[in-house]
Amino acid sequence: MLTNRWIVLAAGLVVWAVYFHTIDWLIMEAQGLPVGMNLMPK
């Protein structure tokens, strides 16, 4: 399966998306800035 480059591309997109989302979340939380709050002005 790993020899099919298009499958690797699709899997890579998912894996990296999970990785970057996780570090975004961890870094924001570490700064005391919880992600997901409704921050839009009402």
Partner 1 sequence: MKRSHISLVLIGSLTAAAVFPELSVAAEQAAAGFEPAPRPSRADYPEIAGVSARLLAWGLAQMHLFLAAFVLAVPLFAIGTEYLGVVTKDERYDTMAREFMKITMAAYSLTALVGGGLALALFVFYPHLMGYLMKVFRGQVLLYALLFGLESISLYIYYYSWDALRFGNRKWAHMSIGLVLNTVGLTLMFVANAWAAFMMSPAGVDPTGAVTGTVWEATRNPLWNPLNLHRFLANIAYGGAIVGAYAAYMFLNERSAQAKAHYDWMGYTSNFIAIAGFLPLPFAGYWLMAEVYAYSQQMGITAMGGVLAWLFIIQAVLIGTIMLAANYYLWCGLMRTDRGARYAPYVKYIAVVIVGGFLVWVTPHSLILTPSEMQTLGGSHHKLLGPLGIMPAKNIAVNLMLVFTFLSFQMFYRSSRIPTVSWASAGNMAIVALYVVGCVNIVAAGLYGYITPTVYKVGASVPQVATTLSIIVFAVIIDIFMLRGAETTKVHWGRMSERSQYALFVLPVAFTWLMGLMGYIRSSLRTHWHVYTVMKDNSPEAFIPTIGQAGNTITVITLMFMAVIVFVFWLSRLGATKQPSPVPVVGEEKQAAS
Q: How far apart are CA 10 and CA 17, in angstroms?
A: 11
The verdict on 40 binding partner 1 (CB under 8 A) reads: yes
Residues 9-38 that bind partner 1 (CB under 8 A): 9, 11-13, 15-17, 19-21, 23-24, 27-28, 31, 33
Query: Considering the complex, what minimum distance in angstroms separates the CB of residue 1 from partner 1?
Result: 9
Q: How far apart are CA 18 and CA 13, in angstroms?
A: 9
What residue type is 35 in one-letter code?
V
The verdict on 8 binding partner 1 (CB under 8 A) reads: yes
The verdict on 5 binding partner 1 (CB under 8 A) reads: yes
Task: Enumerate residues 6+ apart whose C-beta is below 8 A from 25.
Answer: 35
